[in-house]
Amino acid sequence: MYTVKKAGRAKQVEEISSLLDKAETLPLSCVNWKEYPYRPQARTAMMYNDHYLFLKYWIEEDYCMALVDEDGGPVYRDSCVEFFVSPASDDYYYNFEFNCIGRCLLAYGNSRYNRIKAPLSVINLIHRKSSLGSLPFEEKKEKTKWNIFIAIPVQAFFRHEIKTFRKGIMKANFYKCGDGLTVPHYLSWSPIVTEKPDFHRPEFFNQIKLA
């Protein structure tokens, strides 16, 4: 179980981003499929308050791309980080996916099929700030370091009525991918045992305790 600390008295988004810089980080280092051995450096950290989950990812990779320029698009084809989370004691989960300029894909369901996409009005509630800015760019075939800070409000869990994140327990996994890059990769925090790349496997989520 991964225990997530509360953000304390920090009130401004910038304050919490700085707190995450000092927090314990989780490596996204599991290479689950031998056909995709490339492993960029990737790690994440998480904090929370009553009404937001705060995430920050730090990435260093040899190929970096951001072609998707609208929320709801296939951001997983770009340099992408993801957070799949089940807030209840079942296998229904949300996939929060962000490319390296902060465009977001969000949906809900219990498998990769027939997922319910979040309305753009919900996605717009998610704060995102990337060190690479917000403008799209073609693939860079050079070592690139970047980070992204994300603040997810309770309203983003649009199929649940969550009042507060206080002292909750969730199941989740964190990912780094890039399906459309010159060298595709699929990394996870918690190991996945499947024949082919598949992040939509809640049976491999790990528990997260909001202390």
Q: How far apart are alpha carbons 125 and 3 in whole angstroms?
A: 25
Kindly report, residue by residue over 136-145, the tens digit of the pLDDT: 999 999 999 9
Q: Residue 91's pLDDT is what?
A: 84
pLDDT at 9 over 90: no
Residue 21: which domain range? Answer: 2-210
Q: Residue 122's pLDDT is what?
A: 98
- Encoded tokens for 48: 């929370």
Q: How far apart are alpha carbons 134 and 123 in whole angstroms?
A: 16
Overall number of domains in the chain: 1
pLDDT at 57 over 90: yes
On average, the pLDDT of the chain sits at: 96
C-alpha dist (Å) from residue 90 to 169, 202, 205? 12, 9, 11
Q: What's the CATH number where 35 sits? A: 2.60.40.1190
Q: Which of 95, 94, 8, 97 is nearest to 48 (CA)?
A: 8
